[in-house]
Structure 1
């Protein structure tokens, strides 16, 4: 019976992974095909979609691979590592956007190419760690690192990420346009306010992603710790079924994230409708004015 449950969970993971792969492919296509979305402001969103896509593809390949799976498992861990680092990077980037003043200072330091460079570093570190830990270390080292060190490191990263998000929201709450009355400095208060509104909208979206990712990952984290402290659980069929269930739960998060983009990003939703439905939702007059301000002042000039 337990074997049948595990097999059913594997089929379920394959189905969820296939759905997640399609959704994230569509998300990447929308970001690439929509002109107003091809800006550095959305660099980390695209990187997260790319990480979820890779996670889904390698998960599908892993379950039905007839040969050794060390390489596939390494890429899966690598994709997951990239995703949690990307969520952290969004918080740090938004904190810098509100801390480096005047805004032109942030725009000169944090360029689109540098954000892409950060993403490339993530894609070097994540898969490298996964491939090394699954293919080039002794079994004893792998057991300690994978079932104890990596989960604890993940918790530390999640806590740091949540703390940075808290600091950014606090900064937004107490934010006032800097240097507005200083002599010789022309401050665009409307542009600064738009920057704050953009940061708030983007962070709300990533807080939702953070909550979904963390809550779906916690069961696997707890079960891995149980395996580390009690290796006899490897022979418990019920426990193995729970372990596969926890993996299925996290896989769901990669399918939920694109739905969050569609829900929270107006530009993404309009781009999706225009690309796949051939229809564009008409905006209200005040929304059009806000979009023009965003595109002409904030995005074109500051590249947020």
Structure 2
């Protein structure tokens, strides 16, 4: 599939992964030492939910617009971030670099990478003047190798590729395995769309077993339906007790999509030793 944020901003998979992204950053910030977040496929940062691209798919109507009124405790942090960008009503959706930047403390840092020239230019303009943020126009998987380990020695690498290539998960596994060798204590999170099981099973086999790895999948549309039915997040070196947040967030999301047969599952691919 080709996952372009302009068309899919605010859909159910964005809600799922960004709610967990907020929780990951909150966990890493429980300690006072600074963190660095490397966003490998950053996009342009902010998306107009009334743009022709967003209106063409209407996916936000079946995503953030359903979830936004549900101010449950587990979703409060994430929805508070969305509200920050929408003081006058839900009109825009922040991508991962905008969300991360909003959550940064003064001592934290964001390294945002985007290969495509147009969104990279938009992102640079949006982040201009913020010394905590560096924007780089470069390929995302190569960026993993280039920017780890960060000088802070604490933080997160967030991988959210567009899945334009059939071997995207194999490329992701190779990038992660190389990164583990350089920075074995870093936290890594990879988002993927659920379009079939074979590629996910292959990715699991390719990924190193040397790092604790937790996987969560959220199905918004378990009933028969064309298109993107759900997505997953693989978290390597998840913060201590992060699993509790995963369950709380997913349990809060399931009722929103209950009529569509929603559900979620979790699995430790490699348990902590």
Q: What TM-score comes out, normalization by structure 2 length?
A: 0.29
More helix by share: 1
Question: What's the TM-score, normalizing by structure 1?
Answer: 0.27
